[in-house]
Structure 1
């Protein structure tokens, strides 16, 4: 795993724990010589993780839709910046560049990005690890929803293990490096079940 796409908020959150964990993940990525690919903003948790990777001497790739270029205040010190035409193009480029995905606390946009790569994994469109950094138990309600989906028979239990959950950045990256893909039915070239 060389490049990690991080989905996270353009706000800093209610407490400093969100900022501290984003910084810790950024420093850990740089320490492991992993490239960060993210949404390209200088605001909120997005800016915090980019700054921490850069401060530690790491590489950061930003992908920013042109209509958000001024609203989200594009980070000016990135290793690479790609300006794209839409949110769809942003997510597709981030997914193409990434060897794995990490989800930090964020709002509806962060959840939308997570669910897209999660669904792609369910469909067998990728076999990349997806990690949730569950800072201050932020994602406990989402994890409870997954259990509810399984109990209501709207999601197969095996897909719950597709998402790796940790509260420590180093432990999460270790799990991701050792990830064994869930055997999902694919709609590509094979028919694994």
Structure 2
């Protein structure tokens, strides 16, 4: 299985965030999954990729030329795909993956996981979406999605297709039992 991990070029200011990247990388490699990610070598991206590589896992990076030119590309990946734009990067990553997981992130990467959640509701993403909720990082967003349900902007069925967890047992169960939601009609 190809696991898309949305994560950034920052490490965050808590050791738990770095540890979560290591744990996720070990889980990916141990289960013979492949990592699909932004292709960088900095921050949580670099920690995650290095962990997968160190544990003999497969890595696929996707990076736009303008970031590659800044020498942010990881130079030890199994595959590095260079694209022209961020939009093309997001599309290519989604095409290559089977599951979408977001580590704690900044605004750019938050936009990416939120976008694939949105695409699920309109039939453009059949992959399960998981917010890796290290140190309760995503709890406020989880509450916001619940508020969308209580205010009639999101169905409970669609909300149930989004997981907030850092338990690998729960994540594995969610992936195993996941069925893409029905495409909304108006």
Q: Shared fold (TM-score greater than 0.5)?
A: yes
Gaps of 5+ in 1: 187-192
Distance 1:72 1:182, change over 3 A: farther
CA distance in 2, matches of 1:72, 1:7: 19
| CA drift at 1:15 | 0.7
- In the TM superposition, 1:6-45 aligns within 5 A as 6-45=5-44
Aligned to 1:64: 63
| C-alpha deviation, 1:52, in angstroms | 0.5
Q: Secondary structure at the match of 1:180?
A: coil
Between the aligned partners of 1:61 and 1:112, the Cα distance in structure 2 is 21
Task: Report how far residue 181 of structure 1 moved.
Answer: 2.5
Q: Could you tell me how far 1:98 is from its partner in structure 2? A: 0.4
1:126 deviates by 2.6
TM-score relative to the length of structure 2:
0.94
Q: Taking structure 1 as the reference length, what is the TM-score of the superposition?
A: 0.91
**SS of the counterpart of 2:93?**
helix
Q: State the distance in 1 between where 2:72 and 2:124 align.
A: 32
Runs of 4+ in 1 over 4 A off after TM superposition: none
Superposition deviation, residue 109 in structure 1: 1.0
Once structures 1 and 2 are overlaid, which stretch shifts more, 175-184 or 33-42?
A: 175-184
- Kindly state the Cα deviation for residue 72 of structure 1 after the two structures are TM-superposed: 6.2
Which deviations, in whole Å up to 9, do the C-alpha atoms of 1:46-88 show, x marking residues without a partner?
1111011000000000000101114361100000001100000
Question: What's the C-alpha RMSD, in Å, of the aligned pairs?
Answer: 1.6
Give the equivalent residue in structure 1 for 2:91.
92
2:155 is matched with: 156
Work out whether residues 40 and 75 of structure 1, in 8 Å CA contact, stay in contact via their aligned partners in 2: yes
The answer on whether the counterparts of 1:26 and 1:50 sit within 8 Å (CA) in structure 2 is yes
Shift of 1:130: 1.0
